Amino acid sequence: MTTDRREFLAAAGKYLILTGAAAIAFDKVMAGVPSEAENYRSADHWWAFYVDIDKCIGCGNCVRACKTENNVVNEPYYFRTWVERYHITAENPLHPQVDSPNGGYDGFPERYAAGDGSKNFFVPKMCNHCADSPCEQVCPVGATFRSPDGVVLVDKKYCLGCRYCVQACPYGCRYIDPRTNTVDKCTLCYHRITKGQTTACAESCPTGARKLGDLKNPKDPIHDFLRQNKVQVLKPHMGTGPKLYYAGLDGSVR
């Protein structure tokens, strides 16, 4: 049997391609699947957050704690969590005046007079960690995702900074980090809650107005909170399945 040059090159090309494919397949087999984190099973948790409006004093401790814990850029003022002050007059109950000086980072200087018949309260805000999050759905590269335990997170290595998710979030919870030009948001202190700690904002809240809850843990106090209070979520008509529950929320809060 004789082999001419043409046949030899064709056969050699075939083997070269097949060897490459086999090498990659072999690498995958040898590497195995990424190991699960120790002592934490994401399938055992379904994280949520709850806020008691009647306990919030607008001190800004949560805003400062969040920035410290998560190295959030301070100025220009971006926030993973912030506090809003609502001022609602009796004449115009559905159109509140809302302010949030520096997100509540420095507290709230008195602005409204006492005893004028108006309604005033604080509303802490953060990512709602939606079960059907629009931000996750619009991400073109799989950088924003919902973890198996119900936390909406960002893969900084994959984020292109396209800002689509910033527009998609109905709660305004996302911003572009000017240092990395990638999107940033509340992680529900994922690095803490997976170690058995609570979030930095809940840890530093002096009145217990904001707390982390695990809906899959039957002993978690969040179940009592949801049973015993009149609870509302923000923008339920958007169908995002938010898991940030508010007790005592006024209907004018958006």
Interaction site with other proteins (CB under 8 A) = 17, 20-21, 24-25, 28, 31, 33-34, 37, 42, 54-61, 65, 68-70, 85-87, 107-108, 110, 112-114, 118, 120-122, 142-148, 153-158, 187, 189-192, 194-195, 197-198, 200, 203-208
When the beta carbons of 90 and 237 are compared against other proteins, the nearer one is 90
Taking the complex as a whole, the smallest distance from the CB of residue 101 to other proteins amounts, in Å, to 12
Closest CA relative to residue 250, chosen from 112, 93, 19: 93
When the beta carbons of 69 and 177 are compared against other proteins, the nearer one is 69
When the beta carbons of 99 and 236 are compared against other proteins, the nearer one is 99
Contacts of 221 (CB under 8 A, 6+ apart): 211, 213
Phi, psi (rounded to 5 degrees) for 66:
-65, -40
Taking the complex as a whole, the smallest distance from the CB of residue 171 to other proteins amounts, in Å, to 20
Q: Cis ω on the peptide bond leading into residue 76 (within 30° of 0)? A: yes
Tokens of 43: 């399938």
When the beta carbons of 16 and 237 are compared against other proteins, the nearer one is 16
| Pair 90, 103: CB distance under 8 Å | no
Closest CA relative to residue 250, chosen from 140, 86, 110, 105: 86
Whether the CA torsion 220, 226, 231, 236 is positive or negative: it is positive
Distance CA 64, CA 242 (A): 24
Tokens of 178: 């000017």
When the beta carbons of 19 and 237 are compared against other proteins, the nearer one is 19
